[in-house]
Amino acid sequence: MCPGWADETRCCDHICGADRKEAREIQESLIPGSGLKTDCFEVAFRFSPLKEVGGDFADFFSLPDGKIGLYIGDVVGKGLAAAMYAALVMGLLRGVNKTGTDPASVLALLNKRMLVRPVTGRYCATLYAVFDPASNELTFANAGLPYPLLVSASGARELKLGGLPSGLFAGATYEQERVRLRPGDLVLFATDGIHESRNHWDEDFGWEQLGETWLECAPKSANGSLDCLFESVKLFSRYVEQRDDITAVALKVPAHAAQEAAADSSSPAEATTAVP
């Protein structure tokens, strides 16, 4: 122990600082280090915690059948405690997410496992999705996260499917939705830190502005679109400190893939599936 209260405080600050740095490094090891990119699709990722660590989480990966799985979540609370709970949820998800199980079943099983050893006052919003590059079909289930935002040739629209947050209610079940993406389509999966960002007039960035911004960013790559979005949010709230963790995943079918899809363009199966 350091001699004297002042020295002890300095030692404590040093230890806490070291712990925070290590916690940050551990959390960064759990989230994607880079995106995914092929001729058929692009996936990009951004993570901006409020503090050194945060309660948001995300991951994406290749499945054994060639499809792409992705999930994103937002734990109630902030800081180190939320980050620890987020790591727990990611560990539970990794036990089921690479088996090829459909998204609705994955979320139902996640909910069940979280309630085996519940943590008082802790739960999370979670979205799990699977993208098939062979058919451009996106299937997802949602446990309380903001709706995904799709930009297509017809404009920007929310994919309105929700559900109960993970880790709250025993026996929770989930629906899933399928949408056929077209070349040039761009999907945003994000936590509520984006649309709830505020400016110095205490106004939210909001869903309407988010849709307009995402539409403007859509011509860019998945990575470029997230740069565009985060720059717009930063500009909007430039006089106000960040209030929440912000995490986003972008999925894009490149426009150049249109040539490969042209031969099948007359098939009804290629039309975008309607989402309520």
State the pLDDT at residue 269.
34
* β-pair partners for 42: 37, 252
CATH class entry, domain 35-260: alpha beta
State the pLDDT at residue 158.
95
Which amino acid makes up residue 259? Q
State the pLDDT at residue 195.
79
pTM of the predicted protein model = 0.82
* 172 alpha carbon, distance to own chain's centre: 21
State the pLDDT at residue 35.
79
DSSP string, 68-131: EEEEEEEESS-HHHHHHHHHHHHHHHHTTTTS---HHHHHHHHHHHHTTS--TT--EEEEEEEE
Instruction: Decide if 47 contacts 59 (C-beta within 8 A).
Output: no
Instruction: Decide if 20 contacts 54 (C-beta within 8 A).
Output: no
State the pLDDT at residue 268.
37
- Residue 158 tokens read as 């929310």
DSSP label of 270: G
Residues of the chain with pLDDT under 50: 1-15, 259-276
State the pLDDT at residue 18.
59
State the pLDDT at residue 270.
37
What digits encode the pLDDT tens for the residues 79-117? Answer: 778 888 888 888 888 777 565 679 999 999 999 999 998
Domain positions in the chain are: 35-260
